[in-house]
Chain A
Amino acid sequence: MASSSSNLISLKTSDGTVFKVERALAKTMKTVQAIIEEADANIYMIPIHNVFSHHMDMIIDYYKLSVAGKSKEFSVEKLDNDELKDFLLAVHYLNMEDLFEVLTQAVADRLEKKSVGYVRKYFGIENDFTPEEYAAIRKKNDWAFKGDDIEPEEDEEKQEE
């Protein structure tokens, strides 16, 4: 399936779907743009790893809104935290500046009230503090753990029972 029109670029997602997108949209994906420039001649089809078709659907939605000057209307509310993370990883891979800013902020907003334990799992981080080190640093920042709607830590939850 050669892209006959020079204004459309063919992108193939991880799940095998081919999207024909405007060159202008492809330009917002720095990773894709680099591939196009390196290829020099007419590029046939660009595979985009780690990006699924449902990600592309949202990317196209965002593009349409931002072209119409309505980028503020773009919402990721319907995505749960893990779906949002996956979408962010896809956009990060594609290196799309504006959408990246929107998604990193959305993730930050979602994580604010979460517990440290949740955040470790979400990011895939190990707690490399010794129990003494953790106790010290936790004590120093204890005020930061308090507030309305903040998810309690796992160790605190046990104490409450």
Chain B
Amino acid sequence: MEETTASTGTLTLTGDDSFQTQRSIPFDLAAEILSKLSVKFLLKFSTTCKSWNSLIHDPKFIKKHLRVSTKRHRLITTTCIPSKKFTVMSYPLHSLPFNSIFNVNATQYEYSPVNLDYHDRLVVSCDGIICFAINQNLAVLWNPSIGKFKTLPTLYTPKDGDDDGHTVYGFGYDPFIDNYKVVSLFYYNVYACKTEVSVYSLGNDCWRRIEDFPPLIPYSQQGVFVCGTVNWLAYYDLDNNDYYRSYAIVSLDLENETYHEISQPDYGGVIDKLTLTLMRDCLCVFSHSDSFDDVWIMKEFGNVESWVKLVRIPRFSNRCLYFDNTKILYVFEDDNHVLLLMEEKFKLKWVVYDSKNDTVKCTKLQDFCWVESKVYVESLLSP
């Protein structure tokens, strides 16, 4: 490659060489700079002038800001001792040494829980908005960075004898309508496979019922939004044969509102349990066996050949198969380090596992209480 030659020659300064220190910045350039600020400082600088204040409410700018913000993953954690304390904190997951995740740039948010004697369960966070499941008839949406809160309309759920049933919520983006949706999967009377699935779109004031779930038993903590679909785990086996469940991934197409099955990867062994989630904007499955957990992502949604195993986490320390509540929270960009949340003797530990060196490092410890820890990004979106 040729070297660039910089011929410095003689510096001849022209008339207006006065190094003006206060040149003004054109508005479009200002918007580019602002889009790179975190929400707190953006809100502060929205008091600078009227055009900047309008900017942060402009949908195009909100999207632009979100595109930048999506690359800066954070971890949002709720800790709850019912009727005593509910704390919401977020921590940065990007560009840091792993041990300082919980010590540097932690942000606390004010939140008044709805449940007094139970916890508001953090289901998922999408594009800066958090979905809490209050109970099987009520969910709320909240953007902690801008402090906007939205209570969804009450979801009607039928009663069938003594069985109260159970609601699984999912929240995410629907590209077909360029809007966000909450999908509720209510199931009751598992022997008769009775379900009701409803959809709520942001800005609406009611739920809309859609086609029932196919005749399988739902087995998910949340509906996972990916590429215009919502996905859940479900199983066929009704004979109480807990050891050999046949799992399926059921996918709801948000445009046609129809269901189909997504093929799973070849797990390569006996699997006891599966967890379905979202990672790197891809459908992700954790396959749990008695000696390890594998993290699989479907790089190209719908294409069974595109399943890739990201990392394997062996069972370590006192983890036990049946009571193990270890949660895999995040796989770092190096595809090597994994953030886990473990329970151990009345304590909660956030640990970072290094799969190359097979080492574990505890980065945060606290007393046991209700905790949820999910990946989060900041945004200006109003729920």
Chain A residues with CB under 8 Å of chain B are 7-8, 14-22, 25, 53, 56-57, 60, 63-64, 67, 82, 85-86, 88-89, 92, 100, 104-105, 107-108, 111-112, 116, 119-129, 134, 137-138, 141, 143-145, 147
Establish whether residues A124 and B45, one from each chain, have CB atoms under 8 Å apart when the complex forms.
Answer: no
Chain B residues with CB under 8 Å of chain A are 1-2, 4-14, 17, 19, 21-25, 29-30, 32-38, 40-41, 43-50, 52-53
Establish whether residues A108 and B36, one from each chain, have CB atoms under 8 Å apart when the complex forms.
Answer: yes
The CA of A60 and the CA of B5, in the complex, are separated in Å by 10
A51 to chain B, nearest CB (A): 12
Partner of B33, one of A20, A63, A111, A137: A111
Establish whether residues B17 and A60, one from each chain, have CB atoms under 8 Å apart when the complex forms.
Answer: no
B313 to chain A, nearest CB (A): 29
Establish whether residues A144 and B33, one from each chain, have CB atoms under 8 Å apart when the complex forms.
Answer: no
Partner of B2, one of A16, A22, A116: A22
Tally inter-chain residue pairs, CB-CB below 8 A: 119
A56 contact set on B, CB distance < 8 A: 6
Establish whether residues B52 and A112, one from each chain, have CB atoms under 8 Å apart when the complex forms.
Answer: no
Which residue of the partner chain A has the closest CB to B25? Answer: A123
Establish whether residues B7 and A18, one from each chain, have CB atoms under 8 Å apart when the complex forms.
Answer: yes
Establish whether residues A125 and B52, one from each chain, have CB atoms under 8 Å apart when the complex forms.
Answer: yes
Partner of A125, one of B24, B32, B40: B24
A100 contact set on B, CB distance < 8 A: 32
Establish whether residues A119 and B45, one from each chain, have CB atoms under 8 Å apart when the complex forms.
Answer: yes
Q: What is the interface of chain B mostly: helix, strand, loop, or mixed?
A: loop
Q: What is the interface of chain A mostly: helix, strand, loop, or mixed?
A: helix
Q: Besides A20-B7, A123-B24, A126-B49, 14 other CB < 8 A contacts?
A: A17-B8, A60-B4, A60-B6, A89-B29, A104-B32, A104-B35, A111-B37, A116-B45, A121-B22, A122-B25, A125-B49, A125-B52, A134-B47, A141-B43
Establish whether residues B33 and A104, one from each chain, have CB atoms under 8 Å apart when the complex forms.
Answer: yes
A8 contact set on B, CB distance < 8 A: 2, 5
The CA of A36 and the CA of B21, in the complex, are separated in Å by 31
Tell whether A116 pairs with B47 under 8 Å between CB atoms, given A20-B5, A21-B4: yes
The CA of A15 and the CA of B11, in the complex, are separated in Å by 6
B8 contact set on A, CB distance < 8 A: 17, 53
Establish whether residues A105 and B49, one from each chain, have CB atoms under 8 Å apart when the complex forms.
Answer: no
Establish whether residues A19 and B50, one from each chain, have CB atoms under 8 Å apart when the complex forms.
Answer: no
A141 contact set on B, CB distance < 8 A: 43-44, 46-47
A32 to chain B, nearest CB (A): 14
The CA of A60 and the CA of B280, in the complex, are separated in Å by 35
The CA of A15 and the CA of B8, in the complex, are separated in Å by 11
Q: Which 8 A-B pairs have the closest CB atoms?
A: A124-B24, A16-B12, A108-B36, A144-B44, A144-B43, A82-B21, A123-B25, A141-B43
Establish whether residues A120 and B48, one from each chain, have CB atoms under 8 Å apart when the complex forms.
Answer: yes
Partner of B6, one of A19, A123, A129: A19
Establish whether residues B25 and A15, one from each chain, have CB atoms under 8 Å apart when the complex forms.
Answer: no
Establish whether residues B6 and A20, one from each chain, have CB atoms under 8 Å apart when the complex forms.
Answer: yes
The CA of A141 and the CA of B52, in the complex, are separated in Å by 14
Partner of B14, one of A16, A19, A126, A129: A16
A20 contact set on B, CB distance < 8 A: 4-7
Residue of B2, B14, B34, B41 most packed against chain A (CB within 10 A)? B41
B34 to chain A, nearest CB (A): 7
B43 contact set on A, CB distance < 8 A: 141, 144
Residue of A92, A123, A124, A138 most packed against chain B (CB within 10 A)? A123
Which residue of the partner chain B has the closest CB to A108? Answer: B36
The CA of A48 and the CA of B25, in the complex, are separated in Å by 19
Tell whether A22 pairs with B4 under 8 Å between CB atoms, given A15-B14, A89-B23: yes
Establish whether residues B33 and A107, one from each chain, have CB atoms under 8 Å apart when the complex forms.
Answer: yes
Establish whether residues A63 and B4, one from each chain, have CB atoms under 8 Å apart when the complex forms.
Answer: yes
B337 to chain A, nearest CB (A): 19
The CA of A18 and the CA of B8, in the complex, are separated in Å by 7
The CA of A54 and the CA of B36, in the complex, are separated in Å by 26
Partner of A127, one of B17, B22, B30, B49: B49
Which residue of the partner chain B has the closest CB to A120? Answer: B48
B17 contact set on A, CB distance < 8 A: 14-15
Tell whether A144 pairs with B49 under 8 Å between CB atoms, given A15-B12, A16-B12, A121-B22: no
A52 to chain B, nearest CB (A): 9
